[in-house]
Copies of this chain bind each other. A is one copy, B any other.
Amino acid sequence: MSEKKTRRRGAALEAAILKVAWDQLQAQGYQALTIEGVAAGAATTKTVLYRRWPDKAHLVIATIRKFGNLVSYQVPDTGTFRGDLLDLFGQLASVLDTLKGETFRGLLSDRLKQVKFDQILDRLNNDNALASYVQPILDHAAARGEISQARWPERVVNLPGILLLNEIFSRRELTLAAQTAMVDEILLPVFSVKQ
């Protein structure tokens, strides 16, 4: 048996760590994943991890960014406002399927602890991610005349995201029935769309 002599550095080391983190995330879920466990799995030490990520939440975010299929959002264009909203939720549901529901909840729970002075920052970063998905849909609907205007208050634009979060928390999944209910019972009325 040969002793390892090469010492990984930089990007190569980081990639190896993230791979282990992703595997453990899939195998054990968010709660059970520990910094020390990932370090051990990657045959390094937690010192190395703490040099890169401040805590578990950030490590997992980096892992998901690398291995999750999160970046493939396509602006829906079904021809109707309702169809576009359903398509938006459908795409989000398929993303969440690649993660386990527990991962998303655990991650968000961890992050909630830290929202203090980064509130505004957090608001701008996270929420606008989803708001930026919603805005084009509103633009199209307004152009078609389905809704009265394209610009809506921040809370209204963020509403799909809020409903989504609630769904994940309380039900752990995002069923088709739930998607339809959210669109028909809440979103369409808020935008004053007659059904």
Question: Are the C-beta atoms of B112 and A169 separated by less than 8 Å?
Answer: yes
Q: Which chain B residue lies CB-closest to A154? A: B181
Q: On chain A, which size bracket covers the interface?
A: 35 or more
A64 within 8 A of B: no
Within 8 A of B (CB), among A154-195: 155-156, 158-159, 162-163, 165-166, 169-172, 181-182, 185-186, 189-192
| A155 contacts B181, C-beta separation under 8 Å | yes
Name the interface residues of A79-127: CB closer than 8 Å to any CB of B. 102, 105-106, 108-110, 112-113, 115-116, 119, 122-123, 127
* A56–chain B nearest beta-carbon distance, Å: 12
Contact of A185 among B105, B155, B169 (CB under 8 A): B155
A158→B115 CA distance, assembly (Å): 24
B171 pairs with A119, CB closer than 8 A: yes
Shortest Cβ distance from residue A34 to the other chain B in the assembled complex, whole angstroms: 14
Residues of chain B with a CB closer than 8 A to A10's CB: none
> A105 CA to B113 CA in the complex, in Å?
7
User: Across the interface, do A153 and B105 meet the contact criterion of CB distance under 8 Å?
Assistant: no
For the complex of A and B, list the 4 residue pairs with the smallest distance between their C-beta atoms, beginning with the closest.
Answer: A109-B112, A162-B166, A189-B190, A109-B113
A–B pairs, 12, beta carbons within 8 Å: A109-B110, A109-B113, A119-B172, A123-B170, A152-B185, A155-B185, A159-B186, A162-B166, A185-B190, A189-B189, A189-B191, A189-B192
